[in-house]
Amino acid sequence: MDIPHVTDPHTVATRLTVTSPEQMRDLGRRLAKLLRPGDLVLLTGELGAGKTTLTRGLGEGLGVRGAVTSPTFVIARVHPSLGDGPPLVHVDAYRLGGGLDEMEDLDLDVSLPDSVVAVEWGEGKVEGLAEDRLHVVIERTVGEQAGGEQAAGGQADGEQAAGEQAAAPEEDVRRVVVTGVGPRWAGEDLAALAG
């Protein structure tokens, strides 16, 4: 998986390396600080890549009610805010074969202006909901070096925080590409997500 193909001149992207589920949740918490009502987040990655783990972090960062779990069997869950922030609408489009027509049955266009909508498996299905969107692609890096990216925990590749193990198990290492599409994201410093 690569950075999504987009032709919008307002596209910004950053690449990160995540070496544990806790770092993926932490990335979600940091990402939540950038989000506001009306934001659409597309999450792309194979089964077990970490899409729901990142969304748990989004929920924690947004301060929403309810445990964020995979909505595979209910398709969409709404997590109301515990404060004055936006609710989180968490959608799993894996079982939806159709494009935007099938997604329209979920009334996401009604929820979007007041909520943060995170859609797993939404690539090719929900882009038409919003001109501005954030696309998060998560890829396992088993058997390859994730060279050149920033580590999501704040270290550059090859550096190590005090007390950290020398290397994460290969199955935990993920390459994450966060791409902001549209004018909404043009001024955001996505590189700050490396924390």
Task: Identify the CA nearest to 26 among candidates 70, 71, 64, 56.
Answer: 56
| pLDDT value at residue 64 | 95
| pLDDT value at residue 173 | 93
Q: Residue 50 in contact with residue 21, Cβ under 8 Å?
A: yes
Whole-model pTM: value is 0.78
What is the amino acid identity at position 99? G
| pLDDT value at residue 101 | 54
What is the amino acid identity at position 72? T
Q: Which residue ranges of the chain lie beneath pLDDT 50? A: 1-6, 144-149, 154-166
Separate counts of helices (H) and strands (E) for the chain: 5, 8
Q: Residue 126 in contact with residue 41, Cβ under 8 Å?
A: no
| pLDDT value at residue 143 | 54
What is the amino acid identity at position 10? H
